[in-house]
Chains A and B, each alone.
Chain A
């Protein structure tokens, strides 16, 4: 009995980080269930695809989750954030559109080629960011400020048309449902990307090395880890994530708008990493926690949507929730809560055995 409890406590301690995004997520879901008891219901609609709030949360969070995976890695290894991901996603979308336009839009080969082109170009730009960060030792936020400020114009340059639309049955299938599969395709793509990350963490040293470089670069260098290469790799991976996100968004809308494509997603992604309880200063990280953070963020958006708050005003409410979250998760408040908790426990103990806590300093002060 005792050992089981000890094991449980150890498990809890090891995964305590997951609680940071999980608690607000559960609160949000309970809140929604009170408003609408059918919140968690999943139905199959006439078109043969799944629908319902959980599915729409999973579906709408796809782009964010994919970018958050890369962002967590970059944060861990470099101790900074990439603020150019929105611009990179626009570049990826623009490249996808440009290549798609050149060939037959209904053929799978063209679409594949377009996705590969998008991946290639964003990985190249990711390598540019990574080179600035690793070789020139520039702070990630400053290095990515360059593409933040001009990346969307580069996307415009690639796409030429400021609001380029296209029509393709195949691409729209990719964005909604493949025939015969009820699960929306973006969720499947997201799952594949997640699986790739899982395999990378499981079968390579990437996670461990990234963590080591993030905690202490010179120490990891002395241990034979090539910190420069690790940072470069993290940024290239994030670039690839951006291409996937950009491709999904572009095919969803069948439109590439260089100005609006995934606008401000960098901010949402960084917030999701923080809500996931990861330090923005690098080092230890948890991808699962970040992803949970992203879903928490999307659930919050959906909740505000359900409450009929105008989409433009949502940000102000989000900001309030975020401030509340970070204040509750901050070290001094945590300490205060644990002190209150301890006092409550000791009072309980005192209640059980009167006079036992007579010598405690709290009482002495009074």
Chain B
């Protein structure tokens, strides 16, 4: 009785929360270290905004992947879907696809949002149906989805890159909030001029953060969210508890497709262009971010705040390596390969850490329960 009471008073951290805290801690540590040792770039608040602007779409597809991974499945098509929608959107907004004469640019953009969501949902529904109702391995299904999306992207456009320049929608899409007091003064040493560069806050950040909040609420406060965890943790027991396993798995893929659709629009919004290799390997980066944030591929464990920080950690590597290569004695870092190698090293660190932490904690728990048994017995 007493044992039970103490345990309920001090509930031990779940594995996922612990791993998320590690990720957040690592991010803060990395940022503080960069602040201390690297150039002025990190002292500017605009650096944070830049990272968020550039990676908004990754945050969104990371959320979708976290849901799919919590359900014990995988979706590697999201990068392809993002690329497809960005390419489609660029052509659509330039009136080269489905032109409707006399349409207001704002309305055109609204229409693209609807179409993006529809494309994403269509892919999600296809994957979900094949995975959940026909029991086909998710890796193969979403791999085929990726091939389909990438192939369609090249079919849509003969050229490598489609820009939005000169289109009337560009003005609307380029709108952003400039925050002057968070900006910095850039000194041009040749012309001896000082220009003030304000911090740019693009609306894609709002889209990304809203997605994180919405998915977090879905996962932790709704019945569907609990079903995701139940199905990922143990499909058989979930079935016995009366969870509609097939429908839950279907919905996980559907939501991932939906978020990929939104991310496709966000990608276009930020980059203002679609290109054939657009968002390539984004699915793998999103998976890596989810893992760093404490989501396990085995299912049943995960959270989406960790995923957000996972994306941010991977996004920090590029400016850190670039800035560090400007330091004396670190010029070798300017070689093109180091960035990816550090990327891999960070990923390796987290994956090994996770494995060690999970095993250590499980042996600890076994020992503890053994001790309790001997005490009570």
Contact = CB atoms under 8 A, between A and B. Distances in A.
Interface of A: 81, 83, 132, 136-139, 141-143, 145-154, 156-157, 162, 267, 270-271, 274, 280-281, 310, 312-320, 322-323, 326-327, 330-333
Given A138-B355, A312-B154, A332-B133, A149 B147 contact: no
Majority DSSP secondary structure for residues of A touching B: helix
Contacts of B206: none
B359 A319 contact: no
Contact of A149 (B276, B288, B297): B288
Interface stretch (B175-183, B196-204, B259-267, B341-349): B341-349
B152 interface: yes
5 contacts: A271-B143, A280-B140, A316-B148, A326-B140, A332-B133
A81 B138 CA distance: 13
A152 B155 CA distance: 27
Contact of B151 (A147, A149, A316, A331): A316
Contact of B356 (A83, A136, A310, A318): A136
B309 to A, nearest CB: 18
A149 B288 CA distance: 9
Nearest to B297: A139
A149 B139 CA distance: 18
B235 interface: no
B147 A319 contact: yes
B298 A156 contact: no
Interface residues of B, number: 48
B135 A331 contact: yes
Contacts of B355: 132, 136-138
A142 B347 CA distance: 9
B64 interface: no
A332 B135 contact: yes
Contacts of B146: 267, 319
Contacts of B354: 138
B98 interface: no
Interface in B295-319: 297-298
B287 interface: yes
Contact of A142 (B134, B291, B338): B291
B148 A270 contact: no
B281 interface: yes
Contacts of B141: 323, 326
Interface in B116-161: 130, 133-137, 139-141, 143-148, 150-152, 154-155
A280 B359 CA distance: 25
Q: Which of A151, A152, A153, A312 has the most CB of B within 10 A?
A: A153
B339 interface: yes
Given A136-B352, A319-B148, A322-B147, A146 B339 contact: no
Interface string B321-344: 000000000000001111111011
B144 A146 contact: no
A135 B347 CA distance: 17
A136 B345 CA distance: 16
Contact of B143 (A153, A270, A327): A270
Contacts of A81: 139
Given A139-B298, A145-B287, A153-B340, A274 B140 contact: yes
Contact of B343 (A150, A281, A318): A150
Nearest to A139: B297
A157 B336 CA distance: 9
A316 B335 CA distance: 36
A142 B351 contact: yes
Q: Which of B137, B145, B356 has the most CB of A within 10 A?
A: B137
Given A136-B356, A142-B297, A149-B343, A313 B137 contact: no
A313 B297 CA distance: 31
B113 interface: no
Nearest to B151: A316
A155 B328 CA distance: 26
Contacts of B291: 142, 145
A323 B288 contact: no
The 5 closest A-B pairs by CB, nearest first: A316-B151, A150-B344, A153-B340, A319-B147, A315-B151
